[in-house]
Structure 1
Amino acid sequence: MKSATEIREGDWATLGTQASEIRRLVFIEEQRVPREEEWDGLDDQSTHFLAVLDGVAIGTARLLPDGHIGRVAVLPVHRGAGIGVALMEAAIAAARRQGFARVELAAQTHALAFYERLGFLPQGETFMEAGIPHRNMVRRFDD
């Protein structure tokens, strides 16, 4: 029997230890994002999401107080299994509950199609962040 992934929602005090390890592995180690850019001081004020499979944290995302979703990361061995979609759906649902009319994010350009499938539309030009090309994207809530 295949285990289901659980998405947990909480604050940094609750989910930060596990989320920070995933972000360290994906962003700092794998993608070579400088530590000082990854740890931007916004985690304490954000809503965090943690994907957990069989008691092990395998993915994370955060929702900033201004409606930006970011720090979406899934451990390499678990990519392609819908974990990122589940994290994004949880973050989008939280943004709706918090009363936002839209959510925004800065997508790494290789992930544009992933976010477009979730209803996000690209905005503006490509820009560099942490040495990686990004593009801003927006999803408006019509209801």
Structure 2
Amino acid sequence: MKHDIIETTDLTHCHALRRTVFIEEQNVSEAEEMDGLDHEAIHLLATCDGTPVGTARLLLRGETGKIGRVAVLRTHRGTGLGAAIMRMAEEVLRSRPGVTQLYLSAQTHALPFYEKLGYTAYGPEYDDAGIPHRDMEKRLRS
């Protein structure tokens, strides 16, 4: 299974993937998922044989790169695609001048996934869209 991951400005597939994973599977409201920040973000799209199967959204906040909206279709989970999307996100953010740390808001069930990628959880658990989350961070080496 060969995955390709690119930066894209065409959000049609990114939105469709987020709708499937977050709105349909996880019952996140459309208003919470489509939060109005997409226009200022960098979007990644993962495909398998040309079919969209994963996405992520990157926001620049001063020296912090925020990785969010990481979504992989159920049929492609466990294939290493999520980790590949995260590596690409880190590469993209590392290439932006002044970005020294990464931040994400992880669903608590995904903490071990992000910990394996070098992220450290901090602060208390909190509710986001009816799903327990914790903040995580990772410092970038220069």
Q: TM-score, normalised by structure 1?
A: 0.94
1:98 Cα deviation (Å)? 0.6
Residue 77 of structure 2 corresponds to which residue in structure 1?
A: 79
1:25 Cα deviation (Å)? 0.4
Structure 1 distance, partners of 2:85, 2:140, is: 18
Please list every run of at least 4 consecutive aligned residues from structure 1 whose deviation after the TM superposition is greater than 3 angstroms. none
Structure 2 distance, partners of 1:125, 1:102, is: 20
- Of 47, 50, 72 in structure 2, the residue corresponding to residue 52 of structure 1 is 47
Q: Which amino acid aligns with 2:17?
A: I
Structure 2 distance, partners of 1:55, 1:10, is: 14
When the two chains are superposed, the root-mean-square deviation of aligned CA atoms in Å is 0.8
1:141 Cα deviation (Å)? 1.1
SS where residue 21 of structure 1 aligns?
helix
Name stretches of at least 5 consecutive residues in structure 2 with no aligned partner. none
Structure 2 distance, partners of 1:65, 1:95, is: 8
Residue 94 of structure 2 corresponds to which residue in structure 1?
A: 96
Name stretches of at least 5 consecutive residues in structure 1 with no aligned partner. none
1:10 Cα deviation (Å)? 2.4
Residue 35 (1) aligns with residue 39 (2): no
1:142 Cα deviation (Å)? 2.6
Q: Which amino acid aligns with 1:27?
A: F
Residue correspondences, number: 138
Residue 107 of structure 1 corresponds to which residue in structure 2?
A: 106
SS where residue 86 of structure 1 aligns?
helix
Q: TM-score, normalised by structure 2?
A: 0.95
Q: Which amino acid aligns with 1:51?
A: A
Q: Which amino acid aligns with 2:122?
A: Q
Q: Would you tell me which structure has more strand in proportion to its own residues?
A: 2
Structure 1 distance, partners of 2:13, 2:53, is: 9
1:123 Cα deviation (Å)? 1.0
Q: Percent identity?
A: 49
Structure 2 distance, partners of 1:63, 1:120, is: 16
1:22 Cα deviation (Å)? 0.5
